[in-house]
Amino acid sequence: MVYYPIRSTMSSAPSSPPPIPLDEARHLLLDRLVPLPPQTVLLAHALGRAAAERVVATCLVPPVRNSAMDGYVLPNDGSRPDGYLLLEPDHPDPARIDGRTRRVLTGQPVPDWAWCVAAEEHCRRRGQVVFPRGRWPAGHNIREAGEDTRPGDVVAEVGTRLDAPLLARLASVGRHRLRVGRPPRVLVLSTGNELVRPPTRPRADWQRHECNTHLLTALLRQAGARVDPLPHLPDRGEVVRRMLERLPPWDLLITIGGASNSEADLSRPTLRELGVRFLFERVHLKPGRPTAFGLWHDRPVLCLPGNPVAAFVTAVLFALPAVRRLAGFADPLATPPWIVDVQSEVLPDRQRFQVLAVRLSPGPQGLPLATPFPESGSGILRSLTTCDGLIGIPPDTHIQPGTRLPLLWVRHQG
């Protein structure tokens, strides 16, 4: 691909409206999005998706009273000094149960007269007589019918993320198919004369390798989206327009770069020419001020800044919630449920919401200690590769050492 010097097809770029607060911007975004039509999949293919139906149990789990161990069913606490006569497997239950026991395997039903089950390793056997080595309370090692699930219990709510334990519980009540949210298809378009995408090599000393596409593609795929990166484009209005006019089907379009107001920033002006109606074009956010959101024939378009840290921060704050909303999750603004103890002073920004990369370490009271990365430039990708998470500082807030804040994003979420 040939790269050209900066050249705009427009004589001047229109001025942007004033920035708006972060919370207002995120609610404007989410208020315009609705979940995609759901689909029915096999349970084995539902991992990580959002439940699109409310599942109510219609059976008992377990269905009958049964043993939790391999061992012996006892009629009392095991205190009989003469031991317990072992009944043959096909022997009917005796009218009198004193002094009798039955061999039972894990999951097998236990008789009505069962007081407890003595584990095999806690008994010794002499011929047909079993001698327990211990005393046990009523119900020990016995699973009651319906102790896990009863008819009418809600197993999954609409919008719940389907993880491994929840899929297992759905299987336990007999489900093998489920209606789930549809993964949104996201297109990612990067622009910039100064960038070349590997394996293409820079042809000028002022060019560098484009990395944002990999950054956002990986982040959004982790969130369950189907992401298609488009070819990287130079800052030429006709080239950007031609690509935008020939897009494949999509549910969310993300542009990276070209989001500010210089003569080289063509994404927003070109989208506006093509009919995109922007709801906001700047946000009181550091980094990430030139973030814009609009609708193109009722489909969402998100324009993110081009510096890697700013692109990542705005993707966490805007693109991830958009993907979650489209995928049908109940809480698209969900954040990690962890509070950290900030170890450094952070000076306030009068209007902007600040996002900082932090390193985490164990704290003396079990609360993680968060140390902000020493360099805060929005182009320092190293701050993301060496940090453990992101924290957010509200506008006009002076952070003193020892201040407790929630994490916005955590690196290791395995």
pLDDT digits (tens, 9 = 90+) for 27-58: 999 999 999 999 999 999 999 999 999 999 99
Distances 333 to 4, 116, 225, 268, 310 between C-alpha atoms, Å: 40, 48, 16, 25, 19
Which tens digit of pLDDT belongs to each residue from 236-294? Answer: 989 999 999 999 999 999 999 866 665 557 889 999 999 999 999 999 999 999 999 99
Inside any domain, residue 363: yes
- Residue 149 resides in a domain: no
Domain-located, residue 153: no
CATH number assigned to the domain comprising residue 361: 2.40.340.10
Q: Say how many C-beta atoms besides its own lie within 10 A of residue 402's C-beta.
A: 9
Mark whether 294 and 392 lie in a shared domain.
Answer: no
Closest CA to 292 of 25, 3, 1: 25
In this structure, the answer to whether residues 232 and 280 fall within a common structural domain is yes
Could you tell me if residue 5 is inside a domain? no
Domain count, the chain: 4
Verify that 128 and 218 share a domain, yes or no: no
170 and 189 part of one domain? no
Print the domain residue range for 321.
22-37+182-327
Type of residue at 16: S
| Same domain (yes/no): 165, 187 | no
Judge if 220 and 251 occupy the same domain: yes
Rounded percentage of the chain residues whose pLDDT exceeds 90: 81
Model confidence band, residue 299 (pLDDT cutoffs 50, 70, 90): very high
Judged by average pLDDT, the poorest of 10-14, 19-23, 385-389 is: 10-14
Q: Are residues 215 and 230 in the same domain?
A: yes
Rounded to the nearest integer, the mean pLDDT of the chain is 92
Per DSSP bridges, beta strands 129-132 and 123-126 are antiparallel
Query: Does the predicted TM-score (pTM) go above 0.85?
Result: yes
Mark which of 297, 327, 357 sits at the end of a domain: 327
Greatest CA separation found in the chain? 103
The answer to whether 282 touches 294, Cβ cutoff 8 Å, is no
Residue at 113 is within a domain: yes
Pair (312, 219) in one structural domain: yes
Tokens 């007269």 identify what position?
A: 113
Which of 248, 241, 297 shows the shortest CA–CA distance to 269? 241
Query: Which CATH number goes with the domain that contains 86?
Result: 2.170.190.11
Residue 102 lies in a domain: yes
Asked, for residue 9, whether it belongs to a domain, the answer is no
Assigned domain for 10 exists = no
